[in-house]
Structure 1
Amino acid sequence: MRIGEGTITEILDGGLAKVRVNRDHLYVACSACFGAEHVYVTARNSLGAQEGQDVRYEVQDEHLIMGAFICFIVPLFLVILGGIGGYSFGATVLSALIGAAAGLIVSAVLVKLYDSSLGKKIDTKATITEIIETEDDES
């Protein structure tokens, strides 16, 4: 289980909240945060935290290894395989680049399909576990 901290930026319907997570407490899906300064996580808000409050949340990481494999290893493998296949088909550098690009496109589609199917099978949302009291809240 991973624990992170963030600030609630929006209260959503269905007992959910949108939490802004900075780089120090970053734990989100592999492709959602690359290069971003702030990332938003949708979390179950069973504590009734309000907009602007700092919160601590937990994310179950049961599927972390499989997700990392799908997000990083499979695309790398498909780009290499596409490059080799393209080169063996056309025997030029251009055909190898076209094959690698095709492998990259196929891997992007596979990652997107995996992400959407995982979201339907299990609840991957974070859960707010604590409202962090700051000095501004106490006064």
Structure 2
Amino acid sequence: MKQEQGIVLETIGDLAKVRIGRHEECGSCGACAGAQHVVVDAVNPLGAQAGQRVRFAFREENVLTGAFVVFILPLLFGGLGAVVGHWLARLFELEGNTPYILGAVFFFLLALVLVKLFDRRAAKEQALKPVIIEILDKHQS
């Protein structure tokens, strides 16, 4: 399990919104251009309050799965769509690049729908969220 530190911004039920600073892995990604801080929803079993610095843990495989779904899956689906477009073009004896492009675009858009469904499922599933494991500042700031 990977661990990070952050500051609790607010608590909502058994969840806490935790602001973490960017680190080397975030800085090289570029997906959050201009963002100096990332906010995550973390399970809050210790009852951390707003303003407290906390340490939280998350499974690295969840990060890898999310990165695959968001970045790689649409590319794979686009390629698959181009292959399906090629197959349909041969089946219906179509000329030109239009079937390949339409197939790639259709499957890419389908992948974006799957990414959105994955995101909704991940947002609801507590097991995929980081968990606060330690309150570093016992007092509120």
Q: Does TM, normalized by the shorter one, top 0.5? A: yes
Q: Where does structure 1 lack aligned partners over 5 or more consecutive residues? A: 28-32
Instruction: Give me the CA root mean square deviation.
Output: 3.1
Q: Residue 62 of structure 2 contacts residue 128 of structure 2 at CA under 8 Å; is this kept in 1? A: no
Distance 1:127 1:40 in 2: 14
| Paired positions, count | 129
Other-structure match for 2:23 = 24
Aligned residue among 97, 103, 114 for 1:110? 114
Q: Residue 54 of structure 2 contacts residue 136 of structure 2 at CA under 8 Å; is this kept in 1? A: yes
Q: How does 1:43-62 map to 2 (within 5 A)?
A: 43-62=42-61
Q: How does 1:6-85 map to 2 (within 5 A)?
A: 6-13=6-13, 15-24=14-23, 34-35=31-32, 37=35, 38-64=37-63, 66-85=65-84
Query: Does the C-alpha gap of structure 1 residues 5 and 124 become closer, same or farther in structure 2, counting only changes over 3 Å?
Result: same
SS at match of 2:128: coil
Aligned residue among 98, 105, 110 for 1:101? 105
Q: Where does structure 2 lack aligned partners over 5 or more consecutive residues? A: none
What is the CA-CA distance between 1:74 and the residue it aligns to? Answer: 2.7
Q: Residue 83 of structure 1 contacts residue 97 of structure 1 at CA under 8 Å; is this kept in 2? A: yes
Distance 1:99 1:77 in 2: 12
Distance 2:20 2:117 in 1: 25
Shifted more, 69-78 versus 122-131: the winner is 69-78
Query: Does the C-alpha gap of structure 1 residues 122 and 87 become closer, same or farther in structure 2, counting only changes over 3 Å?
Result: same
Query: Does the C-alpha gap of structure 1 residues 26 and 16 become closer, same or farther in structure 2, counting only changes over 3 Å?
Result: farther
Q: Residue 6 of structure 1 contacts residue 25 of structure 1 at CA under 8 Å; is this kept in 2? A: no
- The sequence identity of aligned pairs, in percent, is 36
TM-score, normalization by structure 2: 0.69
TM-score, normalization by structure 1: 0.70
SS at match of 1:17: strand
**Structure with the larger RCO, 1 or 2 (CA within 8 Å, 6+ apart):** 2
Residue type matched to 1:34 in 2?
Answer: A
What is the CA-CA distance between 1:75 and the residue it aligns to? Answer: 1.9
Residue type matched to 1:44 in 2?
Answer: V
